[in-house]
């Protein structure tokens, strides 16, 4: 199971995401770094473990209040052996990657964006590397319920983003995750939200998910370097 560190960017800093309440996010406090500067946080993650994939959410771009283009592009260029899964809002996908030139950046489409079925088909057409994030609050898909009725619309790689569990101490929403896994077939499923410790990682591993996105447990030290190496 692939472990993917998460970096949420807001106003130039890495912030602590909590339950999808974006206006309340504050710069991270972490046992692995004293800095909330994005490049420093990436380096600290890589000192902790040689991760091969990072998930970055450009919250300013998602909310149309700015973007972190130069920061993200530099991270991608300085770490060419790492894949960057980037959610920078639907406009970036509409613009067909905009100015991003690094080939290790793969775009994420969040289902929190309200889209008609036809709009979704047009966005995903001929974009074989696009990653669909199924965004949930309290076990309910935020938008586009048709996505759970027609799995032919799903991309090869799927993130189950359990926003109400992100940055919380609630644990994994297994019911929500299983509802996707039952329909996933050959799709790769990645879980996000609620991982507190190694017990949660082991539970996820037993479900057959391809990977997991996490941040809080790494920043608090609940999951350590030794844990990662053993896992």
Name the residue ranges covered by the structural domains of the chain: 2-230
The fold of 2-230 is: TIM Barrel (3.20.20)
**Phi, psi values for residue 57, rounded to 5°:** -110, 115
Question: How large is the C-alpha radius of gyration of the chain?
Answer: 16
135/132 Cα distance (integer angstroms):
9
How far apart, in whole angstroms, are the C-alpha atoms of residue 219 and residue 32?
Answer: 6
Tokens of 92: 């970036």
Number of C-beta neighbours around residue 103 at 10 A: 10
Residues 82-139 have pLDDT tens digits of 999 999 988 888 875 556 788 999 999 999 999 999 999 988 887 888 999 999 988 8
pTM of the shown model: 0.93
Euclidean distance between CA atoms 15 and 8, whole angstroms: 6
Q: Cβ(195)–Cβ(224) under 8 Å?
A: no
pLDDT attached to residue 16: 86
Q: Which residues of the chain have pLDDT under 70?
A: 19-22, 96-99
Q: What percent of the chain is modeled with pLDDT above 90?
A: 75
**Amino acid 55: pLDDT:** 98
């Amino acid at each position: 199971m692939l472990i993917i560190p998460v970096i949420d960017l807001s106003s130039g800093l890495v912030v602590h995401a909590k339950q999808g309440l974006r206006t309340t996010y504050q710069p991270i406090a972490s046992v692995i770094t004293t800095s909330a500067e994005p490049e420093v946080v990436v380096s600290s993650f890589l000192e902790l473990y040689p991760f091969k994939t990072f998930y970055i959410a450009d919250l300013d771009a998602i909310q149309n209040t700015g973007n972190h283009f130069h920061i993200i592009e530099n991270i991608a260029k300085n770490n060419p052996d790492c894949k960057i899964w980037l959610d920078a809002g639907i406009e970036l996908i509409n613009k067909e990657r905009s100015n991003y030139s690094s080939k290790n950046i793969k775009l994420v489409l969040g289902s929190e964006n309200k889209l008609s079925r036809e709009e979704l088909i047009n966005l995903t057409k001929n974009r074989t590397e696009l990653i669909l994030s199924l965004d949930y609050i309290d076990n309910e898909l935020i938008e586009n319920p048709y996505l759970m009725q027609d799995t032919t619309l799903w991309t090869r790689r799927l993130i189950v983003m359990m926003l109400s569990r992100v940055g919380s101490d609630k644990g994994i929403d297994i019911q929500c995750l299983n509802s996707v896994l039952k329909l996933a077939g050959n799709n790769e499923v990645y879980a996000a939200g609620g991982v507190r410790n190694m017990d949660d990682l082991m539970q996820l591993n037993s479900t057959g998910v391809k990977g997991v996105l996490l941040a809080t447990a790494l920043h608090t030290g609940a999951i350590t370097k030794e844990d990662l190496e053993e896992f």
